[in-house]
Structure 1
Amino acid sequence: MIGDARAILQRNKKQTIRVKMLRKGVFDQLFPRQDRMEKVTGLIGFISAAAFRRLLAKSDS
C-alpha cells in the first residue's frame, strides 16, 4: 500500500536530489520500522512544544 502511494505521488514529477533522498529515507527507512516511527514522533512533539513555548514567550513580551 505504501509503495502504491509513493508511485502515485512520484508519477511524472521532477524532483531534486535532496527531495529524492528525503523520500527514500522516509518511505524505505522510517515507515517500515515501528521503533523509528516512535522515536521520530517523540522528537517532532518535543520540537513542536519548544517552538510553541518560544512563541508564547515572545507574545508575553
Structure 2
Amino acid sequence: MKLSLKHYVIILGSLLAAYFHLVLFPDIGFTLNGLGYLGLLGAYFYRFPSFSSDTNWSGGDWSATPC
C-alpha cells in the first residue's frame, strides 16, 4: 500500500491524540478514548478481505430463479 500525505497526517494525528489521552490524562475515560483512537487507526489501515473489490455483493443471479 502506497501511503500519501493524507495517510501520514491521519497516522500522526491519531497517534498524537492517543498519546495525549493515554499518557497525559491517566483517567479511565481518557484511557479508553486513547485505546479507541488506536483501534480506529488500525481499522482504517487494515484490509478486510470481505471488502475487497473482487467481492460479489449482489448475492447471485436471482433473475433466473422461477417463482
TM-score range, shorter chain: 0.3 to 0.5
**Normalising to structure 2: TM-score of the pair?**
0.34
What TM-score results when the alignment is normalised by the length of structure 1? Answer: 0.36
Task: Return the structure number with greater helix share.
Answer: 1
Identify which of structures 1 and 2 has the higher relative contact order when contacts are C-alpha pairs closer than 8 Å and 6+ apart: 2
Larger Rg: 2
